[in-house]
Structure 1
């Protein structure tokens, strides 16, 4: 069964509509004829963003690599929009060239991302070049096989955090990654794709009910509550190690 796509005709949330309406012409003006298309992804694209908690994630596709002047403009845009719309936690930009996205080796990467995780808000929608994707281990492992690297990085960041606010921010990031990676482990069996980390954890438990305590702990980390650093590290070391080994076993079995 093909995976669901985001309805491009569903209106954006009121809080974010004005932001998008102002951001698009600013980017179009700055890039001129070098711009091919603009996409939103993440919670804003799915119309489930939470003001004060959600980033605004943007993908910009160009015909040529943007010059240094646009990087300066981008910094100005970020500063201006953060000041005008303080409920946006961060403006996150990714760039790619048209030819990179349309390359055959980009099918599982850019093809899947644009087709099932994005909404085109300006220009020629490249997702139309791809058919619908079905759940597979190839997709799952590409997007989450790097969980070992994430664990190593965020374990170190959290261990070195100097204040509660900084630690909570990073524990939320790694909790999201672990919950989504947990579902990706069973995605090829469950035949779905979910971005919401809580849903990912719940669907994962259909196959690994013995991991209920661990998933509940990740939910607590995701909630934004401050948890003593030692306890956070304990979750990453115990459940994280199990998850990495589970990926290795599945890859060995399926390949």
Structure 2
């Protein structure tokens, strides 16, 4: 429905705070076996002495995942800081899920710990991820210990205000992406990040939240009509995130043109993300 009708869903609760976007009941039947396997494998890999809680995020708990195309994204929260052994266990678990289930393009385990999730430094980044973008799968739901969130410039800054730090890494990876497969994977990763940044750039003006990449691109277009070339690039990024292109020119456009422009525009509008302590 259009904004003019007053019925546009902005992903907000009645009090204007951002709704939690996923739920286990939204997981499509095709993905139910891999979700259950992930729950069991993660519990077995870390055990109660290390594991605090596990969450799903991304397209699977939103109910928009496509078999054979979408990733399975998991946040694993430990009782304390992840160790090298924990990271190795996460890699092993990801590899086992990838080998066992063709329904997913890949499984990714993001490791963190309770103190980080609840810290003031991560309140509007990792904390926001848990409270609004994650679906509890196992253990205590830390969202009950986090505040409500609103679509503010502070949230924009702390979620995506470090785009400039990603650009050198992307350039290095692009320079070394000699195969079509490497370009496809990098293009998908870069496109997702750029579309999300384009959306959060305009999020406070729109006054809502969405994780849908196509809708994100169209919301960017709504608030940047004076930049038709950037609108076209963000739309290309949204399409590439869903259906990656092996064309090196697309990756070059994302990394060398759209990325730097979006980073500068983001800094101008919202500032840069607060530096995190080392380690």
The two structures have a TM-score, normalised by structure 1, of: 0.87
Summarize the alignment of residues 7-156 of structure 1 with structure 2, pairs less than 5 Å apart: 7-8=22-23, 10-34=25-49, 35-65=51-81, 73-156=89-172
Answer whether contact 1:144 1:184 (CA < 8 A) is retained: yes
Tell me the number of residue pairs that the alignment of Structure 1 and Structure 2 aligns: 252
2:203 is aligned to 187
Q: In the superposition, relative to structure 1, how do residues 62 and 199 fare at CA in structure 2: closer, same or farther (>3 Å)? A: same
Distance across 1 between alignment mates of 2:250 and 2:23? 42
Answer whether contact 1:60 1:94 (CA < 8 A) is retained: yes
Q: Which consecutive residues of structure 2, in runs of 5 or more, have no partner in the other structure?
A: 1-15, 275-279
SS in 2 for 1:83: helix
CA-to-aligned-CA distance 1:160-194 (integer Å, 9 cap, x gap):
32122211221121111111111111111111122
Residue among 174, 186, 201 paired with 2:217:
201
CA-to-aligned-CA distance 1:34-76 (integer Å, 9 cap, x gap):
2211111111121211222222111112223466665554444
Instruction: After superposing the two structures, state which structure 1 stretch, 34-43 or 100-109, moved more.
Output: 100-109
1:177 matched to 2:193: yes
2:236 is aligned to 217
Distance across 2 between alignment mates of 1:96 and 1:16? 24
SS in 2 for 1:49: coil
Answer whether contact 2:46 2:89 (CA < 8 A) is retained: no
Distance across 2 between alignment mates of 1:13 and 1:194? 20
Q: In the superposition, relative to structure 1, how do residues 15 and 97 fare at CA in structure 2: closer, same or farther (>3 Å)? A: same
Answer whether contact 2:24 2:135 (CA < 8 A) is retained: no
Q: Which consecutive residues of structure 1, in runs of 5 or more, have no partner in the other structure?
A: none
Answer whether contact 2:82 2:112 (CA < 8 A) is retained: no
Instruction: After superposing the two structures, state which structure 1 stretch, 136-145 or 59-68, moved more.
Output: 59-68
1:162 matched to 2:182: no
Distance across 1 between alignment mates of 2:130 and 2:268? 30
> Could you say what the CA RMSD is over the residues aligned between the two structures, in angstroms?
2.4
Answer whether contact 1:151 1:174 (CA < 8 A) is retained: no
1:244 matched to 2:269: no
